Chain A
């Protein structure tokens, strides 16, 4: 257990559905991240939040909408997704204070878009 919890673990949704992925960290970190892990492709960084402010958006389509209400919680709101969005979505957190820059990952949400 790394201290980063993601729910749900699995999600199946249709292209017209709206769903949300949740990530929670209990480590006191100030930075949180969303990654996409597709089959046979490298892990890709999607969004970065630092002290609740979005600092990076790596050209992610608008059908993915992140939300960070506080430093402990991160959401990824999904709407009108495409089948190619099926992937493992990983959340991570870290502390940008001090020299220890280790990333802590959750177990991910395996998303299937039908």
Chain B
């Protein structure tokens, strides 16, 4: 069975600085999807970024980028120029290619605080 591990329960970053959130996963599959979701105090989970395992190029979305290391089974999220609105819980998630879109395996999350 697949597992997702986020080893940092909490992280803190100064406004305008860069922070990296870690995620590792375990799978025997060769093709899959990886996601980072953000959950602000409003509780709505919001997709931040998505990576397809067969693509070697790291995904980017504005200030958010990932470092996808397939051999190491690592999928870290880098947030550049951190803003106060980035403060939230961040969840790493895995999905098999053949599964339903909602069949995600989530990590336990990292709480990110942004200091003004």
Residues of A within 8 A of B (CB): 2, 31, 33, 35, 40-45, 48, 50, 55-56, 88, 90, 92, 94, 96, 101-103, 105-108, 110
* Cα distance A101–B50 in the bound complex, in angstroms: 10
The B interface, classified by DSSP as helix, strand, loop or mixed, is loop
What residue of chain B has the Cβ atom nearest to residue A108's Cβ?
B43
Q: Do A107 and B106 touch (CB < 8 A)?
A: no
Within the complex, what minimum Cβ distance (angstroms) separates B24 from chain A?
A: 14
User: Could you tell me the dominant secondary structure of chain A's interface residues?
Assistant: strand
CB <8 Å contact, B102 and A92: yes
- Over the window 54-85 of chain B, the binary record of Cβ atoms lying under 8 Å from chain A Cβ atoms (1 yes, 0 no) is 00000000000000000000000000000000
- Across the interface, which residues of A come within 8 angstroms of B106, CB to CB? 42-44
Contact A103–B102 (Cβ < 8 Å): yes
Contact B4 A2 (CB under 8 A): no
Asked whether, in the complex, the Cβ of A42 is within 8 Å of the Cβ of B47, the reply is: no
